[in-house]
Structure formats: structure tokens, C-alpha cells
Amino acid sequence: MAVVQTKPSSTKVTGEELKPVLKQAGLKLAESVVQDFSLLLTNFEAAVDSLPDDREVQPRPDLEKYPRTDIHIPEDNEFGAWASKVTAKCTAPKSNLLAGRTVALKDNVALAGVRCTNGTAMVEWVPEVDATIATRIMDAGAVITGKAACENACMEVISSTSVTGPVHNPYAKGYSAGGSSSGSGRLVATGSVDLAIGCDQGGSVRIPAAACGIVGLKPTLGLVPYTGILGMDATIDHAGPMTKTVRDCALLLEVIAGPDGWDDRQPPVELWDRQPDFVRNVDAVAELPRNSMLDGVRVGVLVEGFQIPGQDQNVAASVRAAAERLSELGATVSSISVPKHIEAAIAWGCSVPASGPRGALLADSIGRKELEFTDRCDLVGDKLTQAQFDALGPGASYMYLAYLWAQKRYGPKLHARCTNLFKAVGDDYDRAFKDCDVLITPTMPCPPGRLAVAGYTDEPLKFMAMTATLLANTSPFNSTGHPAISLPVGFSPASEDPNVKLPVGMQIIGRKYGDTDCLKVAAAWERAFDWKTS
């Protein structure tokens, strides 16, 4: 590869500057070629100097068309659920699909001019761009009323680590609202907003949806563009709707789905026939007679999904009963075994620390064609400072240390090994879908626990033990890309206090791009049964 010098460089690289770089890398160059390579690097610097400003090609919002006002940090943050408040809308919406509706964005979603904490004090950042889905929401007539609190660096599933404070369960103060989209879950459950966006790398939409008694969908990988959202790893990053009802979930999905030309996880625009019609399919189910809403639908109750260590039997019984009731709606319900389901969660737990912190914490997400936050790159180096590390919660601290350990001990091999295993796991799920149309598991194996005191920052082992089982049924489908929705189906006594009743979520998993199947089954159950009395 040759470097073409377009103009004289403002930086001249000398041999004396190159030698320490070589030494740090454990390399040597013959003295006879040091000068040649120094000149080549000088030319490289000239090429860098000649690059145009990338801000000119970033999707910066037209603030006259998409004005935002009243940006502030609220004194009353709804028991921890709000990170920031704003009023953002479109003056000339393209549709009225969400007219009059209010929406909260998880606080890792960029909205220009509004701080984006990502749940942590590690960096202070105010984005200059809007996420694609934020623009689409405003274009549909909705008003974005704020940013919902999320867990520290989006690496926790118990709602006690956000820089903005703990988020309390809407059904029991002092209990977890799930995570990492904790604020989104609570705000929808309490009616503080009509709709919310969550993001999900291992269960961060579905777990808070289950904990808060709402609907939460992790779409098929790539169905919804992740452009303009802080992620962890492009292979597991998903953004999805969190809503009170399945129809609202379908409606919000319809607004935000479809390629945007930035996110390479998505099919090219030319291959996208038309915008998916999720609402029409949900409405069609609701119009059918109760006992035939799911005629011909084969439901597989995933055996391994009920064999998670720490499985609460009240939760298991509630989900089994809810799944069996689908037969009253015309579905056939049977048991399905996918032994690799247990292996998938273990592989996720090895893969994410091996690579995730590189993008999530160090802003280094090379290898994908997607919008990069170059201004945020200036706030993070090639490693965390002590102050940045100290700003992390227990889960994020563990992730970073495991990343350093894995890089030292395994290099790229561990992540590569897990990636190969995920292909085999995904194939096993696909084989299961030859015998069923959807799979069923509990979303969370146990009810939400008590909020950790001060995040257990001085007791990371105790904190991590509380989270160990919560991702077991959700994380596999981030790695394989299958869609999965959490639907509230009942209540379970809290493990710590049988007098406290907390929501139970049933997870419905579909084939890739079978999001409609998940929505139809969820809509039928929701229409036929009252989850609060089931």
C-alpha cells in the first residue's frame, strides 16, 4: 500500500520518534531503512492532515425542523427513571403514526444537544447528531420528552448502578426494575411516557420489560438501525420498543424498522421490498374468534429454558401455565429441547468480555461500516484512566478487567472460538423451528431482587452473584440474532419477601425476521387473558 502525499505535512516523523514505537511493539528495524520508513510515516501524516472534516457527512439534525427545548436535569427523576428531560419534535412530520404520543430514549441513544451519560460518569458527552430511530420517531409525529436512565455503561441488569441513581421497580419500591434499560421500563410502566426505546446486548430490553410488567421486543439483528447509539459489539447490539401493549410495540417497531444506509448489519436499501406492516398483522389476530386466533401455530416450550441454575419455581409455573393457555387460542403446545441453549449463555459470557469493552468503553469499533462518534473518541484513550475505571459499576469493572485478562491470555482466539460456537447454536435453534413456529422460556428465571445498596461497589462478588442467572435465557438470542419478545403473564412472590408480588415475563422467540410471529402470539395471549389476574 502506498501513501500519496497530497500536501506538505505539518508533522515530520523522525527516526528517533519511530524507535520508541518499535521498542514498545517489540520490533527492530535495520538502521539502513529507518529513514525510509520515517519518510513514509511523514507522508502518512500528510494524508491524515488532508482529510476533510467528517462532521460534514454526519447526520446532523436540522434544528429548525427538529427543534428541542427545555433541556434540563429534572429534580424529580421519577424514582431514578429520568436521566434528562427535553421536548423534541418535528415541525413537519412525515406521518401521524405516533401523533400525540410521548417517547423516552434510553440514555445511550444520541439526541443532539442533550447529554448522553450511557449510565456512567466515565466521560461527559453531548452528541451533535441524532440517532436514526430518534429522527424516525419525530417524523412519525411523536414528542421525545427525555432520556431514560440506564445502567452503568449498559453493563448491568440490576437497576442500582446508573450515575443518575437507582431505578425502583414500579410495583415495589426498593426492588430492581431490571437493566440495563431500567429507566425505560419504569417510565412506560408508570405511564410517565407512552413508549420508550431500549437497547439490548444480552437482555437489556427484555429483562426490564419483564421486571416492570410491560412488553419489550429485541428485534431480529439488523431489522432496526443502530446508527447513532452507543453499543457494545455490532454482532449483539439491538435497539427495540418497550411499551404497555403488544399493538404499541408493533406500532413503534413499524416506525423505527428498516435500513438507513449507515448500519451494515442491515440489508441494502435496494433489497428491502417495503416497510414491514407489523400493526396490520397484530390487528388481524385480534379480530379472530378467541379459540382460533392461533390456529395452525406450533408453540415449543423450550425445556432447557426452565433448567437455569437458580430457577424460581413460581416463575417457572407461571410461564408454563401461560404457555399452555395458548392451546385455548388454537395453538398446539409441545416441549422442544435445544441442548446448546445452556452452552449459548456460557459462550456469551466468554465472548462479550473478550471483545465488548473495546467498543463499549474504549470507543474502538473498527471493522464495521457504521456511524462513528469521532468527537467521543477524543474523550477516551487506548486504555481507561484510573478515574474512568473508578467511575464504572461492578459489572462494567468486571467486564473491563476480564477484557484485559482475555487479551493477555488468549488474544483474539477466545472471541473467534465463541463466534464459531454461536453459528452452531443458531443452527440448532433453526432446526428446532422446523417443528415449531415460536419458542417459549421465562424471560427472567427469578423475580426481580432487592436493589443493591450503593451498587455493592465494595462487594463486587456479591453484586455479580445477583446477576449471574438473569441473562441465561435472553443472551443466547443476541448472539444468534433471533427476535424475542417479553410479555407480562402474571406475578410471583419476591424471593426475599413472599408478601411482595412482582411481575413475571414470558419470552417468545421467533425465526430470524419472524418478528411478526412473536408479535402475533403475544397479541393473542394479551387479548385473551389479563396478566394481572392470571
Which residues are catalytically annotated?
106, 180, 204
CB atoms under 10 Å from CB of 399, counted, come to: 23
Peptide bond into 162 cis (omega under 30): no
Alpha-carbon distances of 322 from 124, 216, 244, 284, rounded to whole Å: 45, 17, 18, 22
Q: Which helix (H) or strand (E) holds 169?
A: strand 168-169
Q: Which helix (H) or strand (E) holds 1?
A: none
Q: Which helix (H) or strand (E) holds 88?
A: strand 82-88
Write out the E strands in 365-456. 438-442
Q: How many CA atoms lie within 13 A of 7 on its CB side?
A: 5
CA–CA separation, 245 vs 247, rounded Å? 5
Residue 143: name the closest of 105, 199, 186 by CA.
105
C-alpha grid cell, residue 226: 443502530
User: What's the chain's length in residues?
Assistant: 534
CA–CA separation, 502 vs 504, rounded Å? 7
What single-letter DSSP state applies at residue 81?
T
